[in-house]
Structure formats: structure tokens, C-alpha cells
Amino acid sequence: MKRYNVGVVGALGAVGTEMMKILEQRDFPVERIKPLDLKENEGKKVSFKGREVEVKAAGEGAFRDLDIALFSAGEGASHKLAPVAVAEGCIVIDNSNAFRMAPRVPLVIPEVNPEDVLWHEGIIANPNCSTTQMLVVLKPLHDKYVIKRIVVSTYQAVSGSGLPGIAELERQLRAYLEEQELEVNVYPHQIAFNAIPHIDSFMDNGYTKEEMKMVHETHKILHNGEISISPTAVRIPVIRCHSEALNIETKKPIDAEDAKKVLSRAPGIKVLDDVSTNIYPLAAKLVGTDEVYVGRVRQDFSVKNGINIWIVADNLRKGAALNAVQIAETLIRYKKV
């Protein structure tokens, strides 16, 4: 079996750390791992398969010996370095927003549109975390019932802002319990004991970029601009795992019990739904898992054809690092690397 030289750009970040872990856990055919990060972090060590590996500076020349580079170092770093990596002969799987909507860059969720890797020209984009978990669930429903409209409200974890988001929440909680003043650095407002309806920046239409990503990325991934999506994206004081309340209206008749069966057979999904024993997906319980968890599947009595569901996924894994590694696996399966 062929083995690959794999780079991880942003190896010290929340998603980068998870990427290294997932490459190891899934026994990805790594010939050599090359953790890359900011120049000032050069020489730091990260662990991979029981060995300490030295972090190198991400920059020109760093990609020459690599087959695949997983990028998660922010939009700026991707804009700057992804073209460099491609020029140096490396395939880039980019977790940032930099290239997601670029017409010549495929945007891929392996359970949804794996064949889109076939037309890549060097860069493949990883969708936004809140889009990915939503689409893993919508795809099998769309195939059977034809989705007409979605109203989605998100309950997003602070790790979506990386390690600084987690540190900010913990610092504020500690200050609160010690009756000290809360300092606000990472988010526009206090995140402890709050629900902030503001993720990424605001656009002219009154929606945030985070919300509009859910609209535009869905259309691109499903190759279908007809599905209407009405999103509200909210940050809450959860460390890890995003939850979403999804209201789904379909063109064909949909029955909650039948939809549950469809979901339980679909790839990448686990149905956790037995309200008689208080079983439904929960952020605090699903840290470190790989699937998108679905529960509270129930008929929507307010429309002709509709259901409500509650979904949870680990935003650092399926929402980011895992999906990126799965894209790399898909490239291997299709012999495109």
C-alpha cells in the first residue's frame, strides 16, 4: 500500500492537534508526518504515534517533500500558503473559509459529495463546521423526500474559535466563581452565562457570515440552489460539540418514524432517540466522537410535510479535522493523490 508524506499546517492549534490525533487513530497511511506552524513555534514538539516530532515553520519550501497538506491555520495563512503548497506539488485540504466558494475548488463532505474530489486542481476545501454536520443529515433526507426549506438555529461551542475561545470561557467562569470582574477578549461580549447571536462578522443583509456560509455552502455541496435555508447562528458556553435545531420542510410527504429509519441507515449518522429514557444527543457527552448524532425526530404539525430534529457533532472532529482526513482518504480511494 502506498504511503504519503503528510503536512499539518497549524499543528499546534485546536483543529491541528485533532488532525494529528485522527491521522493516528484512523491509521492513515502516513510515510512521514510534518507538523507546520508559525515561525516562532519552530522547534516545539508534538506527539505522533508515540514519537515526538519537531514543528517546522510553514513557509516557502516547506511543502516540497509533501504529498498532502491539511491546513487549519486561519483564512490568512491559507490564502498565503495554499498556492505555495500547490506550486510545490502538494495537494491542499483546507479547513478555512479562504477557498470554499471558489468555483474551481471542490467543497467536500465525503458522506455527501465524495465524487467532487475528482475535479480538484490542487486545493479541496473543508466546509464550515455548522454546515458539515447539517448536510450529513440533510443528504439522505433530501434523496428520499426532496428538501424544500430549512430553518436552523445553532448552539455552537467556543472551541469553534480555537484554543483562545476555550481559554476565554474557562477564565470568565473562574472569575465569576471567585467573584472577580469578567474580562472580555475573544468574543464581542462575555460568553460565560450568555448566548451570543453573532458568529463571524455581519453582512449587509443583516445575517452573519457564519449564517450565510450555511446557505451558500449547502447549495454548492448539494449542487442545488433551490433549497431555502433560514439560519440563526448562536455561540453558547459549551466547550466542544455544536448542537443544531433543524426544522425541515420537504416536497414529498415525510413521516418522523420513517425519517428515523432513513437516518439510521445513512453513512456518518448515529440516531440517539429514545425520549422515554431521556436519550437524545448531548454536546457534553459526545466530545471525541466521529458521527453526527440525531435525536428528537418528531413530526412538525405546523406544515404539510415537515419534521423537527436535534443534531450534535464534535465540531473539532466531524466539523473540521475528521472531515479533512476523510477527504484525504477519499482522494486515495479515487486514486487522485
Catalytic residue positions?
129, 242
Q: Do the beta carbons of residue 60 and residue 73 sit within 8 Å?
A: no
206 binds a second copy (CB under 8 A): yes
Backbone Cα Rg of the chain: 20
Residue span binding a second copy (CB under 8 A) among the ranges 9-17, 36-44, 99-107, 169-177: 169-177
Residue span binding a second copy (CB under 8 A) among the ranges 84-92, 124-132, 138-146, 194-202: 194-202
- Nearest CA among 132, 153, 138, 111 for reference residue 243: 153
38: exposed, middle or buried (Cβ count in 10 Å: 0-12, 13-18, 19+): middle
**Nearer Cβ to a second copy, position 90 or 147?**
147
Calpha distance 197→208 (Å, rounded)? 9
Per the structure block, which three cell numbers stand in for 180? 472577580
179 binds a second copy (CB under 8 A): no
Taking residues 294 to 333 in sequence order and writing x for each that binds a second copy by CB under 8 A, - otherwise, the string is: -xxxxxxxxx--x-x-x-----------------------
255 binds a second copy (CB under 8 A): no
261 binds a second copy (CB under 8 A): no
Q: How many residues line the site for a second copy (CB under 8 A)?
A: 57
289 binds a second copy (CB under 8 A): no
**Nearer Cβ to a second copy, position 103 or 301?**
301
Largest CA distance in the chain: 61
Binding positions for a second copy, 102-161, rule CB under 8 A: 149-151, 153, 155
Q: Could you identify the residue written with the cell 439510521?
A: 264
Q: Do the beta carbons of residue 68 and residue 86 sit within 8 Å?
A: no
**Nearer Cβ to a second copy, position 84 or 196?**
196
264 binds a second copy (CB under 8 A): no
Pairing of strands 56-57, 30-37: parallel
In sequence order, what are the residues at sequence separation of 6 or more whose Cβ sits closer than 8 angstroms to the Cβ of residue 18? 316, 317, 320, 321, 322
Binding positions for a second copy, 29-68, rule CB under 8 A: none
Answer for which of 31, 65, 228, 261 binds a second copy (CB under 8 A) is 228
Q: What angle do CA 188, 192, 193 make, to 5 degrees?
A: 115
190 binds a second copy (CB under 8 A): yes
Tell me the sheet residues that pair with 107: 125
Per the structure block, which three cell numbers stand in for 29? 497511511
232 binds a second copy (CB under 8 A): yes
CB of 271 to a second copy, least distance (A): 13
284 binds a second copy (CB under 8 A): yes
**Nearer Cβ to a second copy, position 5 or 289?**
289
* C-alpha torsion 139→221→290→82, nearest 10: 170
Interacting residue ranges for a second copy, rule: CB under 8 A = 149-151, 153, 155, 170, 173-174, 177, 188-190, 192-198, 202, 205-207, 228-230, 232, 234, 236-240, 243, 245, 247, 256, 275-276, 278, 280, 282-285, 295-303, 306, 308, 310
